[in-house]
Amino acid sequence: MPGKSRGSMDLTLLITVLILLAIGVTMVFSASAVSSVKNYSDKYYYLKSQGLYAILGIAAMLFFSKVNYKFIGKLAFPIVIVSLILLIIIFIPGIGYGAKGALRWIKIGPVNLQPSEFAKSALIIFMAKSLSFKKERVKTFTQGVLPYVMLMGLYCILIILEPNKSMAINIAMITFLMMFAAGAKIWHLAIWGFPLIPGGIYMLTKDSYSLARLTSYMNPWADPLNTGYQAIQSLLALGSGGIFGLGLGNSRQKFFYIPEAQNDFIFSIIGEELGFIGAVTIMILFVLLVWRGIRIALAAQDSFGSLLATGITCMIALQVVLNIAVVTVSIPTTGVTLPLISSGGTSLLMVMSNIGILLNISKTIKANGS
């Protein structure tokens, strides 16, 4: 059955991704060089690991571009089960670990696996598969909406327990985006606003720290050394970059003003070193990526492929938007990495694998399609 009738994969998407990946590795190196020397006595520490993950990521992308996405669809249910198991075993003492008391990682040999990243992909695959079966029944509340919100709830509870609120919010957003894309009735979705939005607000404001973090984004200078610190440092980095930037490698904010500059706030360093021009270039590359992703979704041969492509694209787009919104202090600080750019193994492997799936779907598009 796999594809004699198939076209070639979406080269624009492939090239866009590879450019972003290359920029990512470069910027991780630039942003991390200072702290690498201090913490590991090796300027290239993060370059090495990010480079390795980039190669592994390309391999994973190529691998998944060869695997028929329909085959993955068939495995949707077992994937969900595995993801739930991983999310649960994280709480077994000695298995899960993470920074500052949070349990976010599982160590498998030399590889760090982040179960919640895997869960996100598992949910997308499962929903795409399941929703594509439902057809018109998507428009019913009990079949088109309720089961997914329940599954989402299960994931979110497990992830909040880690705790990792940002990821839970992320997963909830993707769930609703996919139900929306699949054709669920708007008010079936909107009705969840009643319990979920106040619940979300409660989650974000229940303790003084969360509340302080929430309010600090409106005026970070009120508490410049504590809750407003990251926001201020990010603004100073972006602002001092100006239009043309200080030049690659010349960031000053990476000298411990922005903590772990190679992670969530890497976009600030990009803005500082490469300026407005560099920052916007990267955003345009992401726009290109999203556009190609959605194009694939629109041109896909079946609902499953279409919804899967939509889910994957939304996942990436959502992360990009949230990350840049945080970095530009447009929303309160939450821990979201910039896909393909920020350092981090699991996240990069998962994104690349998903892009591999996206590329595989793109092969089914007729040569003259769209």
Partner 1 sequence: MAGVSVTIKKRILFVLISFFLMFFGLIGRLVFIQIINGDDYLKKAVDQWTKDIAIPSKRGIIYDRNGKKLAVSATAYIIYGRPAQIKDKATMAKILSEVLEMDEQTVLKKISDNKSNVLIKQKVDSEKVNQLREKLLENKLNGIEFVDDCKRFYPQANFASHLLGFTNNDNTGQDGVEASFDKYLNGFPGRNIVMTDGHGDELPGSDRKYFEPQDGLNLMLSIDEVIQHFAEKAIENAQIENKAKRAMAIVMDPKTGDILAMVAKSDYDNNEPRKAPAEVADKWATMKDKEQLDELYKVWRNPILSDSYEPGSTFKIITSAAGLEENVVKPDDKFFCSGFITVGGHRLKCWRSYRPHGSETFTQGVQNSCNPVFIEVGQRLGKEKFVKYIKAFGFGAPTNVSLPGEASGIVRDVSAVGPVELANIAFGQGITVTPIQLITAVSAVANGGYLMEPRIAKKLIDNDGNAVHEFEPRVVRQVVSKETSEVLRGILASVVSEGTGGGAMVPGFKVAGKTGTAQKAENGRYISGKYVASFVGFAPANDPKVAVLVVIDEPGGSSTFGGVIAAPVVGSIIGDTLRYLDVKPQYTEEEAKKFERPIVKVPEIRNMNYKEAVKELTKLKLQYRLDDDNNPAPESLVLDQTPKAGAEVNEGTVVILYAQSVAP
- Catalog residues that contact partner 1 under the rule CB under 8 A: 34, 135, 177, 180-183, 225-226, 235-243, 252-253, 255-259, 271, 275-276, 279-280, 283, 286-287, 290-291, 294, 297-298, 300-303, 306-307, 310, 314, 317, 321, 324-325, 328, 330
Helices and strands in the chain: count of H runs, count of E runs: 15, 3
Of 181 and 349, CB closest to partner 1: 181
Residue 239 token pair: 């602002």
Query: Within 13 Å and on the Cβ side, how many CA atoms surround 97?
Result: 7
Of 112 and 210, CB closest to partner 1: 210
107 three-class SS: strand
C-alpha distances out from residue 44 to 10, 29, 30, 51, 165, Å? 33, 7, 9, 10, 32
Q: Least separation, in Å, of the C-beta of 182 and partner 1?
A: 6
Q: Least separation, in Å, of the C-beta of 75 and partner 1?
A: 18
Of 83 and 251, CB closest to partner 1: 251
Of 319 and 343, CB closest to partner 1: 319
DSSP H or E segment with residue 108: strand 105-108
Of 116 and 268, CB closest to partner 1: 268
289-327 in b/e burial notation, b at 16+ Cβ within 10 A? bbebbbbbbebbeebbbbbbbbbbbbbbbbbbbbbbebb
Q: Least separation, in Å, of the C-beta of 232 and partner 1?
A: 8
Distance (Å, rounded) from C-alpha 293 to C-alpha 13? 8
Q: Least separation, in Å, of the C-beta of 317 and partner 1?
A: 5
Q: Least separation, in Å, of the C-beta of 320 and partner 1?
A: 8
Q: Identify the bridge partners of residue 107 per DSSP, sorted by sequence position.
A: 112
Q: Least separation, in Å, of the C-beta of 7 and partner 1?
A: 17
Picking from 363, 320, 311, the residue whose alpha carbon sits closest to that of residue 340 is 320
Of 60 and 261, CB closest to partner 1: 261
Q: Least separation, in Å, of the C-beta of 114 and partner 1?
A: 24
Of 118 and 192, CB closest to partner 1: 192
Q: Least separation, in Å, of the C-beta of 191 and partner 1?
A: 18
Residues 350, 117 contacting (CB under 8 angstroms): yes
Of 170 and 303, CB closest to partner 1: 303
Q: Which amino acid, one-letter code, is at 106?
A: I
List the strands of the sheet with 111-113, edge to edge: 96-97, 105-108, 111-113
